[in-house]
Amino acid sequence: MGNNGSDGLIEFYASEALTCPRRIYFRLKGYPERWPENVKVRLNQGVRTHEVLGRILRDRFGFELERHLVLRSRKLGFEIHGRIDAFREFPIEIKGKTSLPKVPYEYHLAQLNVYLRWAEADYGYLYYVKLHEEPMKVIGRLDLSGFPVIKGPNFRAFEIPYDGRLFKETLRHFYSVKKAYERDRPPEGWRSYACRFCPYRYLCYPNGFEL
């Protein structure tokens, strides 16, 4: 996908909401991604987890998978593209993780919140699933009787209401990256644990990565 959407608007992704601004900048500028080996393994496991759980949501509960959306602001000069994992009247976002968080990550909330805004839905769900070589070993043990609040070992479901304040913050964040993009000056990066999973590590840590 190019960096400029319709009418020359800059394209962001919902999955970039409130993530490291420097990483988004590098993506917009077209720097090649170099994925660390450990991340590739997780990405593949994540894809399989999405496939298995997605099939259940589609076949058993009538959800549409990978629904594409665009939110456009000519005033701000950008658009946000997204692909909702599962959508019916409300969105469900699935996150495969090596360890499950006790509370949702702020940037996952911001991503789901973009979907809620687009769908004009009052609430949606975040599912955290523990990554496994064979996802059915986790997903086969889930209790679906209280759907959409699914329960089970190695699984966490959160019901999330729409948050107008968070949406404004997300727009501000994207706008500041847009400004940096136009000025050709990379913004400060997070330089945190997130760098472990970043394909642009080689740019921020040219002398090798240590955290």
List CB contacts of 136: < 8 A, sequence separation 6 or more: 52
191 binds ligand SF4 (CB under 6 A): yes
27 binds ligand SF4 (CB under 6 A): no
Among 23, 81, 108, 117, binds ligand SF4 (CB under 6 A): 23
Among 9, 10, 20, 92, binds ligand SF4 (CB under 6 A): 20
Position with the least CB separation from ligand SF4:
189
Rounded to whole angstroms, the Cα distance separating 192 from 210 reads 10
Among 12, 63, 78, 200, binds ligand SF4 (CB under 6 A): 200
141 binds ligand SF4 (CB under 6 A): no
Site string for ligand SF4, 161-190 (x = CB under 6 A): ----------------------------xx
Rounded to whole angstroms, the Cα distance separating 19 from 189 reads 10
Q: Report which of 165, 86, 157, 164 is spatially closest to residue 122, judged by C-alpha positions.
A: 164
Rounded to whole angstroms, the Cα distance separating 6 from 103 reads 37
13 binds ligand SF4 (CB under 6 A): no
In the complex, the smallest distance separating the C-beta of residue 58 from ligand SF4, rounded to whole angstroms, is: 33
Query: Going by DSSP bridges, is the β-strand pair 123-130/91-97 parallel, antiparallel, or unpaired?
Result: parallel
Q: Report which of 1, 12, 14 is spatially closest to residue 118, judged by C-alpha positions.
A: 14
How many residues touch ligand SF4 under the rule CB under 6 A: the total is 13
16 binds ligand SF4 (CB under 6 A): no
**Considering beta carbons, is residue 25 or 90 the nearer one to ligand SF4?**
25
C-beta of residue 167 within 8 angstroms of C-beta of residue 113: yes
SS3 207: coil
Interacting residue ranges for ligand SF4, rule: CB under 6 A: 20, 22-23, 26, 189-191, 194-195, 198, 200-201, 204
